[in-house]
Amino acid sequence: MRQILVLGGGAAGLAAALAAAQTGAGAVQVTVAERNPRPGKKLLATGNGRCNLDNLSIGPERYFTADPAALQRLLQAVDAADPLGWFHHLGLMTRADETGRVYPYSNQAADLVNLLERQLERWQVQLLTGCTVRTLAQSRGGYAVQLDTEQGPRTLHADAVICAMGGAAGPQFGTDGFGVRFAQQCGGRVEPVYPCLTALQTAHPRKELAGIRAKAAASLLDGSRLLAREEGEVQFTDYGLSGICIMQLSGLLAPQRGPKHPAVELDLFPSISGPELARQMADRVPGLPGDTPADFWLGLLHPKLGRCLWQQARLPDKLPAPSDPAWQTLAHTAKHWRFEAVTPCGWKQAQTTGGGLALAELEPESFAFRGCPGLYFVGETLDCAGTCGGFNLHWAFGSGLVAGRHAARGAARPKPRRKR
């Protein structure tokens, strides 16, 4: 019987294990080695506990990678694997919101994890928890993997090994970046990793605004060059900026290939042009109950946010006359509020890992490691990070399905990896 070993019990690993067991039913024995006491720990926290498991608008433009051409080929295999259809086949009912984000119908991530655990039992997948991977080597026509377990060291032999050990994001869920380091130990070329889908630190955070939220358009700049623009809710923090639109921009801050002089510019009135905003601001003055900045911001912005903008524009403590050009200055400040030297926050806040094993190291139809038949890498370990909205789980589940099905069908014996 063909032995298939899956390293990691997250989204990609669980999909790979079940796909292998389903495809090779009766002819394969599948084992999952998971570091945590229970699989799917990070899945339980996705989508604020609702598990945004997919999206109806998948496309390569939704992902960050150093190799867009390789991504397009691999994403075709992921899409063809049809993760959403696979879930429906498992009995999961889903619903999509108005933006195309797909959730379990119950809106409970725990239901999805419970379903996957029950399916592991149904397909007789062996689950080993509390395992830490140490080494992998070719052995006896297959692979030998050394593990540290609660009972002591253990070596498992397999015909195929699927590496789904994740990235470095979310160490509170048991991740530490070992999956990427392991890929490098296996001879793979790795793109530098960085926290992705995370809040941003700024050189001069507005600590007095911590906790305040505002609708805005956020632009990522490299000096004066516009790189990307996102609209949504921005949250001010004591270290910088947060909110989904800010997190989306963080994906472009890759080491070496990201901007050299990154800055974020906020437009607090994205639907109004600068000249029109200046006119509307000036037109408010005659009808206000007083002549202070506090009177001006009533019903317009949070008082603290308004006061900060006023100071940023260096306006006097008394309202200027409607004809004063100061209103143009204030409008420009409100639409071009710049925060310099932005950097991603640490791994604990990051939703996923940017960088990882270079996509060109994989066979596009199978996620097999080039030159090593029977060895696969999937999920967050790879140099592919999606934007918010279910794109990362689409990649994780889909890559796991592709690798698991291929591993169950394959019978090739591993050969020595070609030197580069």
Taking CA atoms, 119 is separated from 24, 111, 269, in Å, by 15, 12, 50
Q: Is the pLDDT of residue 304 over 90?
A: yes
Tell me the mean pLDDT in the region 66-92.
Answer: 98
Q: Is the pLDDT of residue 200 over 60?
A: yes
Of 361 and 420, more confident: 361
pLDDT of residue 182: 93
Average pLDDT, the chain: 95
pLDDT of residue 67: 98
Residue 122: other Cβ atoms inside 10 A: 12
Q: Is the pLDDT of residue 347 over 80?
A: yes
Tell me the mean pLDDT in the region 360-372.
Answer: 96
When pLDDT is cut at 50, 70 and 90, the band that residue 416 belongs to is very low
When pLDDT is cut at 50, 70 and 90, the band that residue 141 belongs to is confident
Q: Lowest mean pLDDT: which of 134-148, 266-280, 316-330?
A: 134-148
Token pair belonging to 394: 């689409």
- Give the model confidence (pLDDT) of 48-64 as tens digits: 899 999 999 999 999 99
Instruction: Give the Cα separation of 204 and 310 in Å (integer).
Output: 17
Task: For 162-199, give the DSSP string.
Answer: EE----SS-GGGT--SHHHHHHHHTT--EEEEEEES--
Place of tokens 């496309």: 59
Tell me the mean pLDDT in the region 92-112.
Answer: 97
When pLDDT is cut at 50, 70 and 90, the band that residue 418 belongs to is very low
Amino acid at 411: A
Place of tokens 């993760």: 83
pLDDT of residue 140: 76
Token pair belonging to 265: 């510019």
pLDDT of residue 417: 47
- Give the model confidence (pLDDT) of 153-168 as tens digits: 999 999 999 999 999 9
Q: Is the pLDDT of residue 413 over 80?
A: no
- Give the rounded percent of residues in the chain with a pLDDT score beyond 90: 94
pLDDT of residue 36: 95
DSSP 3-state of 339:
strand
pLDDT of residue 55: 97
pLDDT of residue 334: 98
Model-level pTM greater than 0.75?
Answer: yes
When pLDDT is cut at 50, 70 and 90, the band that residue 415 belongs to is very low
Instruction: Give the Cα separation of 33 and 18 in Å (integer).
Output: 14
Q: Is the pLDDT of residue 16 over 50?
A: yes
pLDDT of residue 419: 41
Q: With contact defined as beta carbons under 8 Å apart, do 39 and 29 qualify?
A: no
Task: Go through the domains of the chain in sequence order and give each one's CATH number.
Answer: 2-195+349-409 (3.50.50.60), 199-345 (no CATH)
Nearest to 64 by CA among 380, 386, 286, 320: 386
pLDDT of residue 48: 85
